[in-house]
A = this chain, B = another copy of it.
């Protein structure tokens, strides 16, 4: 088979599909586009697969649309592609926004990668009493760019078509003024009750709030409870905060048809 493929390619009589199990990310693709130029990073990603003229591949714009593209021009600066087909993906049954008490950068990167694979659509680093010392790094523009790259890679890996949003850090004192946001929230806490499927049955959008190592302070928990956040536990053992967050995401997505 391999030999046949190579010989067909050599004769140029065979238009190959680049990597069937990969999806590329081309941010500026929109529904009306017929011809598009691909530059920079995503051009590099394509080049790794050594494409030829007329090769096809799937790309997503990260906003729910997938595009079947055919390469019609290749030069040092860009690839030009023709859009052959557009596919519109259904929105997820749940818009999940994860607030996380960040500590070390590596843990955060690990979490946003895994949670993107699992279907979370928005991330916000949370600065509370117990993790203030870690806040600094998360405000830097360079770091945000790095986080975004992680999330793009995870979206592509899981062949999703919605790129999660990554926000700048939010202080607890700011979050606590957003009454509707808190009301629509689940907070991980040993004092909470067990998750139930019906927790999310009627929700289309919700926030999952996970405290930092060392947890929320009693005062912080009281503020969240007073504003009607719902407390949930995930058992009696002390999971690391990022493990706990991922278990909660696993359950929430499972409850909603494993999107």
Binding site for B on A (CB under 8 A): 21, 114, 117-119, 157-160, 194-195, 233-240, 243, 246-247, 250-251, 253-254, 257-259
Evaluate whether A235 and B250 lie within 8 angstroms (CB atoms) in the complex, with A118-B243, A243-B118 already known: no
Known contacts A119-B235, A235-B253, A247-B254; 19 further A-B pairs (Cβ under 8 A): A21-B238, A114-B243, A117-B237, A117-B243, A118-B243, A118-B247, A119-B237, A157-B238, A157-B240, A158-B238, A158-B240, A159-B237, A194-B258, A234-B258, A235-B258, A235-B259, A236-B258, A247-B253, A250-B254
B246–A250 CB distance below 8 A: yes
- Chain B residue with Cβ nearest A155: B237
Please list the 8 inter-chain residue pairs (A to B) with the smallest Cβ-Cβ separation, ordered nearest first.
Answer: A235-B258, A250-B250, A247-B250, A158-B237, A117-B239, A117-B243, A159-B238, A158-B238
* This chain: copies in complex: 2
Give Cα distance in the complex from A107 to B246, angstroms: 16
- Chain B residue with Cβ nearest A159: B238
> Closest CB-CB distance, A13 to chain B, in whole Å?
29
Residues from chain B with a CB closer than 8 A to the CB of A158 are 237-240
Residues from chain B with a CB closer than 8 A to the CB of A114 are 243, 246
Most buried by B among A157, A240, A247, A251: A247
Give Cα distance in the complex from A253 to B237, angstroms: 12
Residues from chain B with a CB closer than 8 A to the CB of A254 are 195, 234, 247, 250-251
